[in-house]
Amino acid sequence: MYGLINKSLKSMVIDNHGADVWQEIMDASGIPVDSFISMQRYDDAITYSLVGAAATVLDTPTESCLEQFGLYWATVTAPEAYSILLDTTGSNLIDFLEHTNELHDRITSTFIGYIPPYFEVSRQDNRIALRYESKREGLTPFVIGVVKGLAERFNSTLVFDETQYIAVPEGETSVIHFSIA
């Protein structure tokens, strides 16, 4: 993953728990250096180690940490780093979700070797099924957090149903079901 992800995780922890807690997470993760360069690519294992250590130090399930990180990403990091792209991706939650692949296509030109996830939106009235496919495993809770953050952005109230995980030979595929209340 790119350094921007790790820097954002660090910012979230410091904003919510302080620099001392971030240092505990760094110590628990075994990652020797926490100065990440935003545009540099880092092994995914670094990010997974940081998230795992955060879950341990904060005594919170990993899925909850990832969801909170997704919410932080959508409400703090992305608006700071990609405000113009966000503003042109959609004027409401559904429009935005339907154009997320195009957003990722534009970001792909910035990050060398970036392989974005794929999203597909199906809707029936106010019920939404968001299909998420990624070469990475375990990030569906992060996506749920991002969707919750986007709901805040567009003043939408969501009710989540059970997420369906689809067995795939590599990576992760899930369908996140929710309604707009």
**Per-residue pLDDT in tens (0 to 9) along the chain, 181 residues:** 778 899 999 999 999 999 999 999 999 999 987 778 777 778 889 999 999 999 999 999 999 999 999 999 999 999 998 888 889 999 999 999 999 999 888 877 766 777 889 999 999 888 999 999 999 999 999 999 999 999 999 999 999 999 999 999 999 999 999 999 8
Euclidean distance between CA atoms 119 and 170, whole angstroms: 16
Q: What is the CATH number of the domain that holds 166?
A: 3.90.1520.10
With H, G, I as helix, E, B as strand and everything else as coil, classify residue 144.
helix
The full length of the chain comes to: 181
Query: CB-based contacts of 108: which residues, under 8 Å, 6+ apart?
Result: 114, 116
> Would you state the structure tokens that stand for residue 30, as one six-digit string?
């075994």
Tell me: do 165 and 108 sit in the same domain.
yes
Look at residue 23 in the predicted model and tell me its pLDDT. 95
- CA of residue 34 relative to chain centroid, distance: 20
For residue 57, CA distances in Å to 53, 54, 179 come to 6, 5, 34
Contact between 121 and 94 under an 8 Å Cβ cutoff? The reply is yes
Tell me: do 55 and 94 sit in the same domain.
no
Phi, then psi, of 129 in degrees rounded to 5: -120, 115
Tell me: do 11 and 70 sit in the same domain.
no
Tell me: do 75 and 143 sit in the same domain.
yes
Tell me: do 98 and 22 sit in the same domain.
no
Tell me: do 24 and 51 sit in the same domain.
yes
- Residue ranges making up the domain that contains 104: 64-180
Tell me: do 118 and 69 sit in the same domain.
yes
Give the DSSP H or E segment for 51: helix 44-57
Tell me: do 52 and 76 sit in the same domain.
no
Look at residue 111 in the predicted model and tell me its pLDDT. 67
| Residue whose entry in the numeric block shows the structure tokens 């997320």 | 100
Tell me: do 109 and 138 sit in the same domain.
yes
| Tally of structural domains, the chain | 2
C-alpha R_g of the chain = 16
Contact between 38 and 4 under an 8 Å Cβ cutoff? The reply is yes
Look at residue 107 in the predicted model and tell me its pLDDT. 76
Tell me: do 82 and 170 sit in the same domain.
yes
Buried b vs exposed e over 165-181: b needs ≥16 C-beta within 10 Å? eeeeeeebbbbbbbebe
Tell me: do 68 and 138 sit in the same domain.
yes
Euclidean distance between CA atoms 11 and 95, whole angstroms: 29
Tell me: do 85 and 46 sit in the same domain.
no
